[in-house]
């Protein structure tokens, strides 16, 4: 199975929990699927139909820190001001400075797999600046290739997200609710899904299942990195046919 493989690296990034608005902005430890969708759109230069598009990734960072940022909340003037006849005073908005803590991930590295090898040219010459998460978190593509995956009854997983129902079966990971897709045709209507964040290395060995592996990844006890593919919309097949 041929897929597009992209390696992107940056200095910092942050994936904000959407329901935290003030005081503190914690970060997901892995990029949500909705973030991956936006990242692909920035390379293509347009919104694409998510149906049938599947992705897998391996994401690491070298630590996390907390930084102090601030936002300015604008509001109309609270008091009316008199003016002399014949003079014009501009309607100046007033603002309150609200400081907050933001969690940042240091030296992030994303290896992204997409079942669209025909998009290779778009990633070699992206339409917009390459970023992941916030617009100011600029990234660089250090590798762009079309690779051929193989199937194996054994593999290892690490530093990725897996379907929530897979977590109890392997006994590892943390359950999280992540934004899966923002429908820009419906005023950015969000869809959320539950995933398991997996950072530890887990060996998979099941004679009844076969896993997609990348034979170009480092070998561990005779196994290669397994890839769990996800989709953006419900009802879409979550695995390759």
pLDDT in tens, 142-165: 999 999 999 999 999 999 999 999
User: Is residue 134 a part of any domain in this protein?
Assistant: yes
- Establish if 88 belongs to a structural domain: no
What is the extent of the structural domain holding 122? 2-69+100-231
Under the banding of pLDDT at 50, 70 and 90, the label for residue 100 is confident
Geometric angle at alpha carbon 216, from 176 and 172, rounded to 5°: 25
Residue 150, domain CATH:
3.30.70.3120
Ramachandran category for residue 78: left, alpha or beta (phi over 0 → left; psi -120 to 50 → alpha): alpha
Q: Looking at the domain assignment, is residue 222 inside a domain?
A: yes
Query: Residue 51 falls within a domain, yes or no?
Result: yes
pLDDT confidence band for 115 (50 / 70 / 90) = very high
* Closest to 57 in 3D by CA, of 96, 21, 4, 101: 4
User: Which two tokens mark 223?
Assistant: 């196994």
Residue 77 lies in a domain: no
pLDDT score at 32: 96
Question: Which of 20 and 171 is assigned the larger pLDDT?
Answer: 171
Band (188; pLDDT cuts 50, 70, 90)? confident
What are the phi and psi torsion angles at 58 (to 5°)?
A: -130, 120
pLDDT digits (tens, 9 = 90+) for 41-59: 999 999 999 999 999 999 9
Domain-located, residue 238: no
């Amino acid at each position: 199975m041929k897929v597009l493989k992209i390696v992107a690296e940056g200095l910092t990034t942050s994936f904000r929990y959407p329901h935290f608005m003030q005081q503190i902005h914690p970060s997901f430890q892995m990029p949500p699927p909705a973030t991956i969708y936006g990242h692909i759109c920035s390379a293509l230069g347009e919104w694409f139909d998510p149906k049938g598009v599947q992705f897998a990734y391996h994401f690491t960072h070298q630590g996390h820190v907390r930084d102090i940022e601030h936002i300015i909340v604008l509001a109309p003037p609270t008091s009316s001001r008199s003016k002399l006849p014949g003079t014009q005073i501009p309607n100046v908005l007033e603002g309150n400075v609200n400081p907050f803590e933001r969690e940042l991930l240091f030296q992030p590295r994303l290896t992204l797999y997409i079942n669209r090898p025909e998009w290779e040219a778009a990633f070699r010459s992206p339409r917009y600046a390459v970023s992941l998460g916030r617009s100011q978190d600029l990234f660089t593509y250090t590798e762009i290739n079309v690779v051929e995956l193989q199937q194996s009854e054994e593999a290892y997983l690490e530093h990725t997200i897996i379907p929530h129902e897979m977590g109890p079966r392997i006994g590892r990971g943390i359950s999280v609710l992540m934004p899966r897709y923002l429908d820009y045709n419906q005023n950015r209507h969000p869809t959320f899904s539950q995933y398991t964040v997996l950072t530890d290395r887990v060996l998979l060995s099941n004679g009844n299942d076969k896993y997609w592996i990348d034979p170009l990844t480092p070998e561990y006890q005779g196994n290669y990195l397994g890839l769990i593919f996800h989709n953006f919309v419900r009802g879409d097949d979550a695995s390759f046919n």
